[in-house]
Structure 1
């Protein structure tokens, strides 16, 4: 199945647009459920499904800012959290494609002050969550005083023997690890001498035409982290209808794992750019999904490629990433065999999206 996905990823760059059939029942079911959740105040955000370059379903509802009564639109930006890992992975793969990085070089090649215990860990292992390194996100937060590079340097100097020790042999066990993507961001910046946010802009946002996407900048006031808020960026909310509380978060601390803000329009542009090979070519796209790592201990769920999750609802290849829980939920999925995509952006931390996968797959099968 995964070989089929890899081949499809190469072929999809040249798929010609075909007429879109009448919206199948499966898409109607998604629209009806979203409409009901919007009416009941349980969903706030944007849902867009596109098939062969044409919009098959679009919904937007709710408030980006409840206090000021600012409505959500397809151009509203959301904090996308772990979907940022997909963007980080594309940035790294673009640097691999141009020779600035190598997937199978140890992380210590690029980060000289990283612990020697990590010398067997490669960029590939960080991308597919098999590094064995502990998730050091909380210690990173503790050391964050001005910016990401300084926090990483201070963290490396302060690591205890227990924190330096690997939790499993490199390349063996899959453990989802946010900190691995902080290492990827740090390695990319050091290898190129360019701040990681600038690399993402150069390698992904600009060639894709993601005009409103950005990396959240650090905001420190009187030595304390401060949440970022700005026009056009949705506020995140947790809790149930009638008992919502505004989320407080500092996405910029997770530069590689969670700092991107983007709109639905940005994701439509990203999908088109990937189909057209504007960010990385077919070989690199195929490499991202070659030899995916299965869920640990026979558990159900997605296999992981290089910065992407790989699933097959109803046997239909689906590649993407999810993110959120603290006031925001994002789900970006691409269906390469069908030349289709879905994006869900919500500013409610209770939003669920996995129920859509079977419906979208059924609609795509019916539209063949």
Structure 2
């Protein structure tokens, strides 16, 4: 499974809260970790053609998953050597309406939005409207990225696109049945666009970065991000069932996003649409992948050059010894050594996977309208069917245990946390293995899940930041601070506690000093 997703962030934060946030996150996941009106019952398949022999067992597996595992529907498309080998859909896109899924059903893509947004960015690069190596602030409006841990001028478009600019972990959801609405992008920038690590210092997956890119696309093109993407990406590539948001005119054909209990999730928006907001069908998504493989696809017009496609796929940010990130695409390797390029996605009611194997001219797209592991599993199955042994499990790249030697941090550190409503006094006291935090007027409280590794100090504690954004959901505070001499600075993340809906990750800058 290729990609990075919000649900994976939540799981990782709860499981590995002590580890350096985002410092080793895996965009490639767990190592691979017809508008048809079928009218079929739940668990049935709607396919453009009978599946090849290689896919019969996979089809049976998907039917079982849809019937028994709480996955309302899945759609899959596979292409090789410039032609679509298999397209099929299983289950219900909309259970309440009795609408069966098809290969042309628009699904919410979550983070597979990023390579689509990145394609739009490269269109502007080719038109000399954006330079990848210029600071993103040159293309923003009145609100600018703030250089906290490093100079804002070094936060280039390229670094924003490959998640090494220093922008923080960020996701923020706005549900249609709640009173909160997406703020203007300038306001999001003022509140959260802080460089919490120095540009180029490390990989930190940031939805906010792709929110800034969609804003740049709108500002430089003179069109809204949604209109530009429709006119310059979807239409030329023949992606007629794709859009930023639900495709207009296809609202009653969309795959409804379902919660784990099987109920529909109210529609939600983000302040990072370029990272999360695209809808596409499996058929459209495989066409998108075929374009990026360099295939000559009937009904498509090239939107960027071969050179630009290669720039997107070239790894420039290391995430692990084997996994990296380019511009909108993650890269990894098959167990057989073949390079994988792709992305995955996940958030409330969404799990998606798009994987390409360029040297074999192969692409696999799997979409589901619930949060689950199954698109990644099915992707592995398809890869193994076509490239035997490709998706075998490999050893964990990160074989070192989190370090907890706090000796370099002993003492009391004092400083502030910067919230958009004002700074809060903040202190951390470390005595032996005991860590106590005090934020604002609250009583000191223990910090748990503490680690100190590669000079990054992490831990969790209950606290109150008090901004309207943060207080919308229950949360805990996650530390991700770097030791720089006698200064600790970096992120304090208000991370929503698990609930019926995916919450938020809102990062705040903090800096503390230890008296000499």
Structure 2 equivalent of residue 327 of structure 1: 349
Q: Within 2, Cα distance between the matches of 1:272 and 1:139?
A: 31
Within the alignment, does 1:257 sit opposite 2:285 as a pair?
A: no
Please give the residue correspondences for 1:79-118 in structure 2 after superposition, counting only pairs within 5 Å: 79-112=108-141, 113-117=143-147, 118=152
Within the alignment, does 1:269 sit opposite 2:292 as a pair?
A: no
Q: How many aligned residue pairs are there?
A: 322
Q: Within 1, Cα distance between the matches of 2:204 and 2:146?
A: 21
Q: Go from structure 1 to structure 2 and tell me whether the alpha carbon gap of 1:251 and 1:146 turns closer, same or farther (over 3 Å shift).
A: closer
* CA displacement at 1:360 relative to structure 2: 3.3
* Root mean square deviation, CA, Å: 2.9
Query: TM-score scaled by structure 2?
Result: 0.57
Within the alignment, does 1:33 sit opposite 2:61 as a pair?
A: yes
Q: Within 1, Cα distance between the matches of 2:373 and 2:256?
A: 15
Please give the residue correspondences for 1:1-368 in structure 2 after superposition, counting only pairs within 5 Å: 23=52, 27-40=55-68, 42-43=70-71, 44-112=73-141, 113-117=143-147, 118-138=152-172, 151-157=184-190, 159=191, 163=192, 165-216=194-245, 230-239=251-260, 243-251=261-269, 253-274=271-292, 275=294, 276=296, 278-295=302-319, 302-314=323-335, 315-365=337-387
* CA displacement at 1:88 relative to structure 2: 0.4
Structure 2 equivalent of residue 14 of structure 1: none
Question: What SS does the aligned partner of 1:60 have?
Answer: strand
* CA displacement at 1:65 relative to structure 2: 1.2
Q: By percentage of residues, which structure has more strand?
A: 2
Q: Within 1, Cα distance between the matches of 2:388 and 2:275?
A: 36
* CA displacement at 1:101 relative to structure 2: 0.8
Q: Go from structure 1 to structure 2 and tell me whether the alpha carbon gap of 1:114 and 1:99 turns closer, same or farther (over 3 Å shift).
A: same
Q: Within 2, Cα distance between the matches of 1:280 and 1:38?
A: 38
Q: Go from structure 1 to structure 2 and tell me whether the alpha carbon gap of 1:49 and 1:215 turns closer, same or farther (over 3 Å shift).
A: same
Unpaired runs of at least 5, structure 2: 1-50, 390-516
Question: What SS does the aligned partner of 2:236 have?
Answer: helix
Unpaired runs of at least 5, structure 1: 1-21, 218-228
* CA displacement at 1:121 relative to structure 2: 0.3
Q: Which has the larger radius of gyration?
A: 2
Q: By percentage of residues, which structure has more helix?
A: 1
Contact kept? 1:103, 1:122, Cα under 8 Å: yes
- Higher relative CO (Cα under 8 Å, sequence separation at least 6) belongs to 1
Question: Could you list the runs of 4 or more consecutive aligned residues of structure 1 that deviate by over 6 angstroms after TM superposition?
Answer: 144-147
* CA displacement at 1:269 relative to structure 2: 2.5
* CA displacement at 1:271 relative to structure 2: 2.8
Query: TM-score scaled by structure 1?
Result: 0.78
Q: Go from structure 1 to structure 2 and tell me whether the alpha carbon gap of 1:138 and 1:328 turns closer, same or farther (over 3 Å shift).
A: closer
Contact kept? 2:340, 2:357, Cα under 8 Å: yes
Q: Go from structure 1 to structure 2 and tell me whether the alpha carbon gap of 1:164 and 1:32 turns closer, same or farther (over 3 Å shift).
A: closer
